Structure 1
């Protein structure tokens, strides 16, 4: 990026600091049908309360065989609505399935959200991990690693400092294309999951690496591997490390942390300790996937009152 460098990624990812975001949809435990009008209101509340990012998933197809029964809106439609109903909070995709969408369509969507949000978009990109979905879209799951790299290059070219369109084919006398309107700032691109790539490739091409919560010892090992890759870059650079974590926030603030799949059940005091340990071990952002018996607004307001000030001051 140039002098017109995006700043939204620095509000979410900053060296030595930890910020907190939320993953949509925001549902109570056991809910599988989201009222997306309510979700837009909760997103506006998250913006007002001071959360740093809202994360939107790309789930093209559902199946009874999949563990997640929640129906997700098309991410570009939802991101457009979020851009129109928030003012400060970062909007992030976690993640657009880079291998199942044409990269120029992704670039057009990302530039559109960047324009509507006035520069608040972070483009998280993943490769998907379900071979039957590849077949449904006429893609070869075995080719996903190469697809990820080539599609990444096309998106990066279209959204960078000097935007240019890389066509799949260029017939004789074909015109040069451009994507308009040009967004106000280049769009930061973030690797979500590995996409079948090495950590060295991710460190060279992405602003950082977003991964799922794992038990602390495993996560520390992954972070050490990431730091080593960042240290191998030819020039010193900051590269972010972020985690998506499930949270069942107890209404008892003193309840100890109990491990859950991809996260914890905890009272706020134990949660503060967990997050502080993550910050000390080099995590820059945690997006919380809420799920408890409590009303979502109550959980958000408790987090904003008693947790966010410890990290966002």
Structure 2
């Protein structure tokens, strides 16, 4: 009886170890599929809405997320918009990112899930660490934690913070978060009275959660290059973006010369139904037919961009746009990895 129990226990441990190792490999492969040297991958930003729509049907969003996963997009990005106001230009009611990421983790299989970006300065870093670990576990290592600082002083005031504290808050919260999500995990308490216990972050994960700077967070590019997987930024006109990338590469050479550091762009896209329509600049992106879009993306890849996520803004049905991108654009950039 004891021998049988020992065999069962050994078999269970072997399966658990295989699962852990598999998750480690899968997590690293997920990051590589999104950010790889000399390659460009494409993702989508949720919610995926037709132009002029400001109320999202989130059952539909989950269905669109599954479609994006099935069609080979490399990442789904979710935003963190704690509060809306009349002077904030985004009228969409966004779900809390952690609430949305839970079902996304269980409704998709292969696509990376990324936050673009959790407002690091207005959330406690240990709460962020717990949530990020949870999403990473539910998604089997497919989560990339993008972190920003927010840029609206009135929102800081609503949370009892001073906006001029954001640079220091970003750095200190990043350090606490990175320690909690690292291997081994270290929980750094804000206060440790005499006799306080040593805390742990559980459940234990086989892999660490990659941290990505979205925007600058008030930090220098050298700081970002030292601490982050890469730098995700908004679309800019080509000359400005090339200058920004050159600044980034110089910072990487100074701060992390032996490491790969990614560069990504969030782009608004109004994909025309006419595949031959020339590109026209719009706020934070382009209106273009697919041939012009492919040309733009070719230039971005040649200029060093590793990932582009599309914020769709077309008047066409969203499913139609996703299907055209998947069949006509993705094969030009997504190698088998």
Task: Please tell me the TM-score bracket, short chain as reference.
Answer: over 0.9
- Of residues 244, 247, 261, the one that matches 1:239 is 261
Q: Which residue of 2 aligns with 1:222?
A: 244
- Structure 1 residue ranges (4+ consecutive) displaced by more than 2 angstroms after TM superposition: 3-6
Q: Which residue of 1 aligns with 2:234?
A: 212
1:267 aligns with 2:279: no
- Of residues 185, 199, 204, the one that matches 2:221 is 199
How far apart, CA to CA, are the structure 1 residues paired with 2:80 and 2:198? 30
| Contact kept in structure 1, 2:212 and 2:232, CA below 8 Å | yes
Give 1:90 shift: 0.1
TM superposition score normalised by structure 2: 0.91
Q: List per-residue Cα deviations over 1:98-133 (Å, max 9, x = no partner).
A: 000000000000000000000000000000000000
How far apart, CA to CA, are the structure 2 residues paired with 1:22 and 1:185? 25
SS in 2 for 1:125: strand
How far apart, CA to CA, are the structure 2 residues paired with 1:198 and 1:25? 31
How far apart, CA to CA, are the structure 2 residues paired with 1:93 and 1:258? 28
Q: Which residue of 2 aligns with 1:310?
A: 332
Q: Which residue of 2 aligns with 1:300?
A: 322
How far apart, CA to CA, are the structure 2 residues paired with 1:16 and 1:232? 20
How far apart, CA to CA, are the structure 2 residues paired with 1:69 and 1:233? 39
- Of residues 122, 125, 140, the one that matches 2:144 is 122
How far apart, CA to CA, are the structure 1 residues paired with 2:78 and 2:171? 22
Could you say if the C-alpha distance between residues 126 and 234 of structure 1 is closer, same or farther in structure 2, counting changes exceeding 3 Å?
A: closer
TM superposition score normalised by structure 1: 0.98
1:66 aligns with 2:88: yes
- Of residues 274, 279, 285, the one that matches 2:307 is 285
- Of residues 153, 156, 168, the one that matches 2:190 is 168
How far apart, CA to CA, are the structure 2 residues paired with 1:119 and 1:184? 9
| Contact kept in structure 1, 2:38 and 2:301, CA below 8 Å | yes
| Contact kept in structure 2, 1:126 and 1:192, CA below 8 Å | yes
SS in 2 for 1:278: helix
How do residues 84-123 of structure 1 correspond to structure 2 at under 5 angstroms? 84-123=106-145
Q: Which residue of 2 aligns with 1:16?
A: 38
How far apart, CA to CA, are the structure 2 residues paired with 1:119 and 1:234? 25
Residues 176-185 or 146-155, more deviating: 176-185
How far apart, CA to CA, are the structure 2 residues paired with 1:291 and 1:236? 39
| Contact kept in structure 2, 1:118 and 1:184, CA below 8 Å | no
Q: List per-residue Cα deviations over 1:33-85 (Å, max 9, x = no partner).
A: 00011000000000000000000000000111110000000000000110010
Residues 87-96 or 155-164, more deviating: 155-164
Residues 113-122 or 183-192, more deviating: 183-192
| Structure richer in helix, relative to its length | 2
The answer for unaligned runs of 5 or more in structure 1 is: none
Q: Which residue of 1 aligns with 2:199?
A: 177
| Contact kept in structure 1, 2:54 and 2:91, CA below 8 Å | yes
- Of residues 47, 53, 69, the one that matches 1:47 is 69
RMSD: 1.0
